[in-house]
Amino acid sequence: MTSGIVGCRFFGADYGVYQNGIDELTDLKFCFFYWNYLSIYLGIDDCWTNEVEFLMDNVVIDNNFENPSYGIVMSGWQSIPDYSTLRIQNSIITNSYCGWLIDFDTSFYPPVMSNLAYYGNYYDDNLGSSGFQVNPMYLAQSPFVTPSDPNGWLYFTDPCSPVADVNVGDLWQSAPQQLLTSIYEDGTPRDNKGIGFGMPIPLSYATPVGELACDIHSDGIVNFRDFAEFAADWGFTGTSAADFDEDGTVDVNDLNILSQNWLQTSYIEPNVTDNGDYLTLTCQEVNDVNLSDFAIFLDGEYIATRDVVEYPELLIDKMKNSGGVLNIKEVAKGDNSKPYVTANVAVSFDAPYKWNILVRAF
């Protein structure tokens, strides 16, 4: 398999991406498709399992009402038994004649689809029932902020660039992961063309809470990098980033301020305590941010919401999940329902007694 198509924009094409399974399918991640006749075509014809293996993750398809336009078309004969190797997840499809289409004239089976958001399509899909999807969200309108003056804004092709704020109201705790990972502190105007501007952002992204005292390097944490800068300016008189109390001298008073902020971060983080067979999850308290509740995601799937004050903890039984390293992520709701996304925390789900219990079960 190739490394995939990552962080690309496809604009105004008859076929944004055309793939034939005989030549293997290439993954698509953090890509933006805009105003295409057919954004993604996946042709699968007598493929082996490794050839049909495909992941589409964090992709936005906005065909800008191109008529008749299609988001994803899947076609071809299949003879393989493992259809779960084709996965489409954490993405948005909007402003298409048909969001995604499975060719009825072939033996194509539905892929594994999860955390997909739709709005503004004439048809979201061409099936009588698409109940095999996990956590779809059918929205009446765009969940993104519409600007008053979008003039002068550019398309962003960098997967780390800003995207629009999300306002999903009471649905925020069960919204598709793509929406929840598309939150930045400052939104980007979208114009009136659906998704229009912006890109999804990497799952490792964390929303900054605000300015962090003593973070001289502006890397989100107060650590030895900042101390080295502070030590280099020790005793300096004048303007210095290490003069935290701004009295004109880098002295012991500034050292006290540095010690008080040592290892502080400008991000909200999941608190994870490993108790052997169980994990206890809470949400980090942050100065000057009043958190009300937080949603918890395990490897991108929503699992629970907790109240920070009334009901702050969640126990996860490691033995009820697949083994290996899984990622925990949280989305915390702050003042005025402002959401803050945390970075992933990797946790080992190899419970110490799992093998013994399996042996006794036999």
Q: pLDDT per residue over 178-193, tens digit each?
A: 555 554 434 333 333 3
Instruction: Determine the distance from the C-alpha atom of residue 19 to the mean position of all C-alpha atoms in its chain, rounded to a whole number.
Output: 25
Helical H segments across 97-216, by residue range:
177-180
Phi, psi torsion values for 319, nearest 5 degrees: -75, -10
φ/ψ of residue 53, rounded to 5: -60, 125
**Domains identified in the chain, total number:** 3
Residue pair 188/164 in contact by the 8 Å Cβ criterion? yes
Q: Which domain holds residue 137?
A: 5-180
Q: Are residues 283 and 233 in the same domain?
A: no
Say what the pLDDT of residue 1 is: 44
Residues 246 and 312 in one domain: no
Residue ranges in 186-287 assigned as alpha helix (H): 224-232, 252-260
Residue 2: the pLDDT is 57
Q: Is 117 helix (H, G, I), strand (E, B) or coil?
A: strand
Spell out, as residue ranges, where the chain has pLDDT lower than 70.
1-2, 23, 46-51, 77-84, 104-108, 142-205, 287, 337, 351-362
Measured distance CA(233)–CA(222) in Å, rounded: 16
Both 166 and 283 in a single domain? no
Angstrom distance (rounded) from CA 21 to CA 268: 42
d(CA 243, CA 145): 39
Task: Supply the CATH number for residue 342's domain.
Answer: 2.60.40.10
Give the C-alpha distances (Å, rounded to integers) separating 161 from 110, 154, 155, 157, 285: 33, 11, 10, 7, 27
pTM: 0.60
Residue 287 confidence (pLDDT): 67
Q: Give which of 21, 333, 303 is closest to 174, Cα–Cα.
A: 303
34 lies in some domain: yes
Residues 252 and 139 in one domain: no
Give yes or no: residues 118 and 22 share one domain. yes
pLDDT, tens digit, 9 for 90 and up, residues 55-66: 898 788 988 888
β 28-34/5-6 pair status? parallel
Whether residue 361 is contained in a domain is answered as: no
d(CA 318, CA 354): 9
Write down how long the chain is.
362
Q: What residue has token string 């999807």? A: 133
